[in-house]
Amino acid sequence: MATSNNVQVSVLGLGAMGSALASALVKAGYATTVWNRSPRKADALVAQGAQAAATAGDAIRASGLVIACLLDHASVHEVLDPLSPELAGRTLINVTTTSPAQSRELAAWAAQARIAYLDGGIMAVPHMIGRPGSSILYSGSADVFHQYKPMLDLWGTSTYFGDDAGLASLYDLALLAGMYVMFAGFLHGAAMVAPAGVTAGEFAAMAAPWLTAMTGGFEGFAAVIDGGDYTVEGQQSLEFSDLGHLLAASSDQGISTEVVAMVQRLVQRQIDAGHGKEGFARIIESIKQPG
């Protein structure tokens, strides 16, 4: 197992997230080299005990383990393609946000270049790194994951999804999809009550416990979906879930209906197909089969 006494690690990319990851390593006693296109971003980490590299190549040569936390998929190739001979025989853990297809492409590129590769999806914001609630999802090389797990656990709860390098990204983006739609729903609600003189803060105090309680329904929806029977008793029917009243109330308040209309379209598609008596979870079929 990797420990802070026997691992030298280099972090490429010192944006807010890359800096948080590197800082956690330095504080835990790992010999950490850092590099960023804008060198001044390394100053705070150097003050903590990190070594600054003048070039990405210098950073790679300093360590057997390289962490890439760059802007996007294109920037990973821009930085690392010219340095693939330097990376050969080393380990690359890429936590840059990429799509599943891009993660798989990077894994194939790494294999061709003889680089051990692990892909990561960070389910946290920078200030959460190393604190309760931080979670990082991984897929790719099992050997890399298990070898460096004690180090990875410094950043947050580490979960491994298998050797398909795209799975961590897939889970990451799927979870973010749920988050952003939930956020949009909250903001729609805040916009609805604003004309009545209700502040967003007042609405949040009501919405947070309500939405938290409603997440308890996920397991029930999942059981119905996995069972494939949307007629199971106890479900709220699609006909009952018609959101016409929400659309009308939103229009009356003078706000956009886009957020609620999206859900209404998914509901209506199943009703039109003759499934109005079945449960709300059936709208997943509208999502899985667009149009």
What residues make up the domain containing 124?
8-164
Lookup: tokens for 230: 């949307």
User: Does the residue 170 lie in any domain?
Assistant: no
Contact 10, 65 (CB under 8 A): yes
Q: Read off the pTM.
A: 0.92
User: Does the residue 194 lie in any domain?
Assistant: no
Asked if 141 and 213 sit in the same domain, the reply is no
Asked if 118 and 39 sit in the same domain, the reply is yes
Cα separation, 233 vs 8, whole angstroms: 58
Residues facing residue 11 across a β-bridge = 34, 67
The runs of H, that is alpha helices, within 62-159 are 73-80, 84-87, 100-112, 142-152
Residue 217's domain is classified under what CATH number?
Answer: 1.10.1040.10
pLDDT in tens, the chain (291 residues): 666 668 999 999 999 999 999 999 999 999 999 999 999 999 999 999 999 999 999 999 999 999 999 999 999 999 999 999 999 999 999 999 999 999 999 999 999 999 999 999 999 999 999 999 999 999 999 999 999 999 999 999 999 999 999 999 999 999 999 999 999 999 999 999 999 999 999 999 999 999 999 999 999 999 999 999 999 988 999 999 999 999 999 999 999 999 999 999 999 999 999 999 999 999 999 999 987
Cα separation, 268 vs 80, whole angstroms: 48
Instruction: Please provide the size of the chain in residues.
Output: 291
User: Does the residue 181 lie in any domain?
Assistant: no
CA 1 to chain centre: 27
Asked if 263 and 146 sit in the same domain, the reply is no
Interval 275-288: pLDDT, tens: 999 999 999 999 99
Lookup: tokens for 272: 């039109």
Asked if 44 and 152 sit in the same domain, the reply is yes
3-state secondary structure of 230: coil
